[in-house]
């Protein structure tokens, strides 16, 4: 982000830790109250869990002392009550945090979706779909442990040890110190084992992001990959990404495994029992400890490190969750397109480019000082060689990107001053790359105007010359289509997007080679439909096939990001400039060489 690039970045560990805590706190704000409530329940559950062990100790003490049996039964009741309270409170606490986690996932995904809608399109083209997918799915899933479990584990670590320490210190402070002696040793071992784990985790996160991007690229280009075999660049990139992810995962697992082994060795009940029983026996032999007083340490003390083991086992998941939260926060922190300082709504729909310059990167401008006027109700065709900036010019009008210099006006109002919903609602867009949503054909057309009736949808389909094709399908308008494949051909899918634009009935229409996938048989019909669509509207057509725009009111020729010619078809041919050369190239008889050779072969 520009804001980060230009700011002062501290690399201190304390600053990073503080920033991570603020990031996590901001993301968890919607469910903070429920997490606190769950932690309180987990704390009480942990304290209640001590009561059965205390009851066993006191029952043994009473039986060995030969006291009344009614006291024994009192302790039995207390132990059963403590066990029941522990289970009930923990079940409720888990329900609270898991429901909170489900609500948080829904909230964050909705927030990401809303944020994606206001991000510049350049963010997606520059970063890749994998980064947004990681935030939407992987990062939110990785935060599950932190929300649903870590809070309860932390409360348990506090509740049981505090209650147990009070009880054990009251029994014998020396044996209490012996019981706790394993904790410092375990802490030192864990600190040593975790020394490089942050680096390993960062490597694993980066490898996962690369794998996401490579996988999406591979799936999108699978036809090319299959056509050219396994030696293609896309396949190699995916294979390299898989190798890197597996290597990073193996390194992280090995290091985390060493940390887990050392902690389990020192904090396991068997190790603690060995230390407590051995030292306690020595204390009894020396006369420093009553044999009955060893019972609390054998029953309660042995289980004292168990909550710390839970934290240790969840440390890596917690670290992964924190990194996921930081990445998720970074995506949400990406700057959206600035909102208008003084919103204005145009009353006319002519389009003006005033010395517009734009580039996807600062050092590679695509458009340079473009001055252009597209009159209201007229057809403006934009032509030029590949890479001249035609598509980019069209995508600046609906403000998919903000210009680097100059301004674009609609009806005299700068597009940056028009509310985004109003701006997009006044522009119908048909791009060459057609992607339909996973829904019925009817609903795909109805995207142009969600409140349209079925009759209006069908009328739009008729105007786009696709109605008969749809009704010939087994389920007609209720036929399901997918994003990039399905029962429809490329030309049919293109005509559905044209029907959507007709239904939208917007005052401005942008067409980026809208007839690219239309077969010759239906091209004339679609051209007629587009001609009806253009009546009374401002129409901007990005065209590659020049014969489709011969009747445009004005033709603008771009070359290297600059307007080099403008005029009507006849005037540009007469000028014998760049447009004339393009027209001659497309209509050169040599372009028909393949057909001629086929005829000769016959």
Dump the DSSP string for 459-510: HHHHHTT-HHHHHTSTTGGG-EE-SS-SSS-HHHHHHHHHHHHHHHT-SEEE
Q: How confident is the model at residue 20 (pLDDT cuts 50, 70, 90)?
A: low
Which of these, 90, 93, 107, lies nearest to 31 by C-alpha position? Answer: 107
Would you tell me the crossing angle of helices 520-534 and 454-463 to the nearest 10 degrees?
120
Beta strands in 452-507 (DSSP E): 480-481
What DSSP character marks residue 484? S
When pLDDT is averaged across residues 302-306 and rounded to a whole number, the result is 70
pTM of the model: 0.61
Residue 524, pLDDT score = 66
* pLDDT of residue 381 exceeding 70: yes
DSSP 539: E
Is the Cα torsion angle 522, 527, 531, 534 positive or negative in sign?
Answer: positive
Closest CA to 303 of 343, 259, 268, 354: 268
Superfamily of chain region 11-332: ABC transporter type 1, transmembrane domain (1.20.1560.10)
Between 570 and 179, name the one with better pLDDT.
570
Q: What is the pLDDT of residue 354?
A: 94
What's the mean pLDDT when you consider all of the chain? 79
Residue 192 has pLDDT above 50, yes or no: yes
CA dist 414 and 403 (Å) reads 11
More confident residue, 66 or 109: 109
Mean pLDDT of 315-329: 80
CA angle 493–498–503, rounded 5-degree value: 125
- The reported pLDDT for the residue numbered 512 is 82
Cα–Cα distance for residue pair 415/428, rounded to 1 Å: 15
Band (pLDDT 50/70/90 cuts) for residue 592 is: very low
Q: pLDDT: is 119 or 217 the higher one? A: 119
Residue pLDDT, tens place only, 531-549: 666 677 899 998 888 888 8
Q: What number is the average pLDDT over the span 326-336? A: 85
Q: What is the mean pLDDT of residues 91-101?
A: 94
Per-residue pLDDT for 164 more than 90?
Answer: no
How many other CB atoms sit within 10 Å of the CB of residue 368? 17
Q: What is the pLDDT of residue 123?
A: 72
Element holding 435 (H helix, E strand):
none
| Reported confidence tier of residue 373, pLDDT bands at 50, 70, 90 | very high
Phi, psi of 557, deg, nearest 5: -105, 120
193 versus 383: which is more confidently predicted?
Answer: 383
Which distant-in-sequence residues (6+ apart) come within 8 Å of 197 by Cβ?
A: 252, 255, 256, 259, 316, 319
Give the relative orientation of helices 13-28 and 32-65 as an angle to the nearest 10 degrees: 100
Residue 562 confidence (pLDDT) above 70:
yes
Q: For residue range 167-183, what is the model confidence (pLDDT) as tens digits?
A: 888 888 888 888 877 77
**pLDDT (mean) for 545-558:** 87
pLDDT at 597: 39
Give me the residues paired with residue 511 across strands. 430, 541
Which tokens in the block code for residue 308? Answer: 């710390």
Radius of gyration of the chain (CA): 35
pLDDT attached to residue 567: 92
Instruction: Report whether 171 contacts 293 (CB < 8 A).
Output: yes
pLDDT tens-digit series, residues 237-290 = 777 888 888 888 787 777 666 666 666 666 667 777 788 888 888 888 888 888
Q: What pLDDT does residue 10 have? A: 36
* Closest by CA position to 97, among listed 143, 162, 129, 130: 143
pLDDT digits (tens, 9 = 90+) for 482-510: 655 567 777 788 888 888 888 888 899 98
Token pair, residue 353, equals 């480019």
Q: Which of 97-101, 458-462, 541-545 has the lowest mean pLDDT?
A: 541-545
- DSSP label at 468? H
- Rounded to an integer, the average pLDDT of 132-161 is 84
Is residue 45 within 8 A of residue 156, CB to CB? The reply is: yes
Describe the chain by its helix, strand, coil percentages, rounded to 5: 65, 10, 20
d(CA 511, CA 543) in angstroms, rounded, equals 8
Q: Is 360 helix (H, G, I), strand (E, B) or coil?
A: strand
Nearest of 591, 542, 521, 182 to residue 395 by alpha carbon: 542
Percent of the chain scoring above 90 in pLDDT = 20
Q: What is the pLDDT confidence band of residue 194, given thresholds at 50, 70 and 90?
A: low
Tokens 């603020």 belong to 22
Tell me the three state secondary structure of residue 181.
coil
Q: Report d(CA 480, CA 218) in Å as an integer.
A: 25
How far is Cα 559 from Cα 390, in angstroms, rounded to an integer?
A: 9
CA-nearest of 82, 70, 285 to 167 is 82
Average pLDDT over residues 9-33: 66
Which comes out higher in pLDDT, residue 461 or 233? 461
Range scoring the smallest mean pLDDT among 12-21, 301-310, 336-345, 469-478: 12-21
Domain ranges, ordered by start, for the chain = 11-332
DSSP state of 119: S
Please tell me which of 99-103, 318-322, 416-420 the model is most confident about, judged by mean pLDDT: 99-103
Would you say 42 and 152 are in contact if contact means Cβ atoms under 8 Å apart? yes
Look-up of token digits 């990107």: 401
Identify which of 86, 82, 60 has the alpha carbon closest to the alpha carbon of residue 72: 60
Q: Which residue has the higher pLDDT, 278 or 233?
A: 278
**How many whole angstroms from its chain centre is CA 493?**
28
Q: What is the pLDDT of residue 286?
A: 84
Give Cα separations from 148 to 70, 98, 324, 486, 564 (angstroms).
Answer: 42, 5, 15, 40, 62
Q: What is the DSSP letter of 544?
A: S
Q: Give the tokens for residue 41.
A: 């329940």
Does the pLDDT value for residue 8 go beyond 60? no
H-helix segments, 11-150: 13-28, 32-65, 69-118, 121-127, 129-133, 140-142, 144-145
């Amino acid at each position: 982000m520009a804001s980060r690039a230009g700011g002062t970045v501290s690399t201190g560990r304390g600053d990073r830790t503080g920033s991570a805590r603020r990031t996590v706190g901001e993301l968890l704000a919607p469910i903070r109250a429920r997490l606190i409530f769950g932690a309180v329940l987990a704390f009480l559950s942990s304290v209640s869990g001590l009561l059965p062990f205390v009851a066993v100790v006191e029952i043994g003490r009473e039986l060995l002392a030969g006291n009344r049996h009614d006291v024994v039964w009192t302790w039995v009741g207390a132990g059963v009550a403590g066990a029941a309270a522990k289970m009930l409170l923990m079940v409720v606490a888990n329900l609270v945090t898991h429901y909170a986690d489900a609500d948080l996932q829904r909230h964050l995904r909705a927030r990401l979706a809303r944020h994606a809608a206001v991000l510049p399109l350049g963010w997606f083209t520059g970063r890749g779909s994998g980064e947004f997918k990681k935030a939407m799915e992987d990062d939110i899933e990785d935060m599950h442990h932190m929300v649903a479990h870590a809070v309860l584990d932390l409360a348990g670590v506090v509740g049981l040890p505090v209650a147990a320490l009070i009880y054990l210190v009251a029994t014998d402070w020396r044996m209490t110190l012996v019981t706790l002696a394993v904790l410092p040793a375990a802490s030192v071992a864990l600190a040593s084992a975790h020394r490089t784990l942050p680096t390993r985790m960062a490597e694993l996160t980066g490898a996962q992001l690369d794998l996401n991007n490579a996988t999406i690229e591979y799936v999108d280009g699978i036809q090319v990959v299959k056509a050219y075999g396994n030696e293609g660049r896309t396949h190699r990139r995916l294979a390299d990404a898989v190798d890197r992810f597996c290597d990073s995962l193996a390194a992280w697992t090995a290091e985390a495994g060493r940390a887990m082994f050392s902690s389990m060795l020192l904090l396991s009940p068997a190790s603690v029992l060995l230390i407590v029983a051995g030292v306690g026996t020595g204390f009894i032999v020396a006369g420093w400890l009553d044999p009955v007083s060893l019972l609390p340490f054998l029953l309660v003390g042995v289980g004292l490190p168990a909550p710390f083991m839970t934290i240790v086992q969840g440390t890596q998941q917690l670290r992964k969750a924190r990194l996921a939260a930081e990445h998720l926060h970074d995506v949400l922190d990406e700057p959206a397109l600035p909102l208008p300082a003084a919103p204005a709504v145009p009353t006319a729909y002519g389009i003006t480019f005033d010395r517009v310059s734009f580039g996807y990167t600062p050092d590679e401008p695509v458009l340079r000082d473009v001055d252009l006027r597209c009159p209201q109700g007229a057809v403006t065709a934009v032509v030029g060689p590949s890479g001249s900036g035609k598509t980019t010019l069209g995508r600046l009008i609906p403000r998919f990107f903000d210009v680097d210099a100059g301004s674009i006006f609609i009806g005299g109002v700068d597009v940056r001053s028009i509310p985004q919903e109003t701006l997009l609602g006044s522009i119908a867009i048909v791009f060459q790359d057609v992607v339909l949503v996973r829904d019925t054909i009817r609903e795909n057309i109805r995207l142009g105007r969600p409140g349209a009736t079925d009759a209006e949808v069908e009328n739009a389909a008729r105007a786009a010359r696709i109605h008969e094709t749809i009704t010939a399908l087994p389920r007609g308008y209720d036929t399901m289509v997918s994003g990039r494949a399905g029962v429809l051909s490329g030309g049919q899918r293109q005509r559905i997007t044209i029907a959507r634009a007709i239904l939208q009935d917007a005052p401005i229409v942008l067409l980026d080679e809208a007839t690219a996938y239309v077969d010759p048989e239906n091209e004339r019909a679609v051209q007629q439909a587009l001609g009806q669509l253009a009546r009374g509207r401002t129409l901007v057509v990005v065209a590659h096939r020049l014969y489709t725009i011969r009747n445009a009111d004005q033709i603008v020729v771009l070359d290297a990001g600059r307007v080099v010619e403008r005029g009507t078809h006849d005037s540009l041919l007469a000028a014998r400039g760049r447009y004339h050369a393009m027209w001659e190239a497309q209509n050169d008889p040599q372009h028909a060489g393949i057909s001629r050779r086929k005829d000769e072969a016959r």
